[in-house]
């Protein structure tokens, strides 16, 4: 974990306020420490399951817009976190099916590299 990946997790919560409760639970479960890869997987699970905080497509789109922007401008560490702890989980999930062909150019390009079978 690094400052940049922790900043990504915290920035995501600021950009998508409905994640605040999930983030607070994450902190409580991890003795006040941010575990960025774990938190990203928790966000993925919440989106996949359309937990109550993600009842609107707009909130889902805000998550992906933020990740798209951060992937485009982030360090290699940030890009790896988004790829490994989020994108690679998409194929074969309800969230992945909802998003098929709808990822932005940066995330779509990364997905084509890591899971070429998904992007078709």
Q: What is the pLDDT of residue 54?
A: 59
Q: What is the pLDDT of residue 96?
A: 86
DSSP 39-56: HHHHHHHHHHTT-GGG-S
Domain span including residue 71: 3-114
For residue 119, being part of any structural domain is answered with no
Q: Does an H or E element contain 65, and which?
A: helix 57-73
For residue 84, being part of any structural domain is answered with yes
- Looking at the 3D structure of the chain, how many domains does it have? 1
Nearest alpha carbon to residue 45 among 76, 17, 37: 37
For residue 120, being part of any structural domain is answered with no
Q: What are the tens digits of pLDDT across the range 27-57?
A: 999 999 999 999 999 998 888 877 555 567 7
Q: What is the pLDDT of residue 21?
A: 94
Q: What are the tens digits of pLDDT across the range 65-108?
A: 999 999 999 999 999 999 999 999 988 888 888 787 778 999 99
Q: How far is CA 37 from CA 8, 77, 100, in A?
A: 10, 11, 23
Q: How far, rounded to the nearest angstrom, does the alpha carbon of residue 103 sit from its chain's CA centroid?
A: 12
How many helices (DSSP H) and strands (DSSP E) are in the chain?
Answer: 7, 0
For residue 56, being part of any structural domain is answered with yes
For residue 38, being part of any structural domain is answered with yes
For residue 64, being part of any structural domain is answered with yes
For residue 78, being part of any structural domain is answered with yes
For residue 11, being part of any structural domain is answered with yes
Other Cβ atoms less than 10 A from the Cβ of 27: the count is 14
């Amino acid at each position: 974990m690094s400052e940049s990946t922790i900043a990504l997790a915290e920035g995501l919560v600021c950009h998508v306020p409905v994640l605040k409760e999930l983030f607070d639970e994450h902190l409580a479960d991890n003795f006040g420490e941010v575990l960025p890869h774990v938190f990203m997987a928790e966000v993925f699970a919440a989106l996949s399951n359309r937990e109550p905080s993600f009842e609107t497509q707009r909130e889902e789109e805000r998550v992906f817009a933020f990740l798209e922007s951060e992937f485009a401008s982030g360090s290699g560490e940030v890009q790896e976190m988004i790829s490994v702890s989020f994108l690679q989980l998409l194929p074969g999930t309800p969230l992945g099916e909802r998003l098929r062909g709808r990822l932005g150019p940066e995330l779509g390009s990364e997905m084509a590299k890591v899971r070429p079978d998904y992007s078709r």
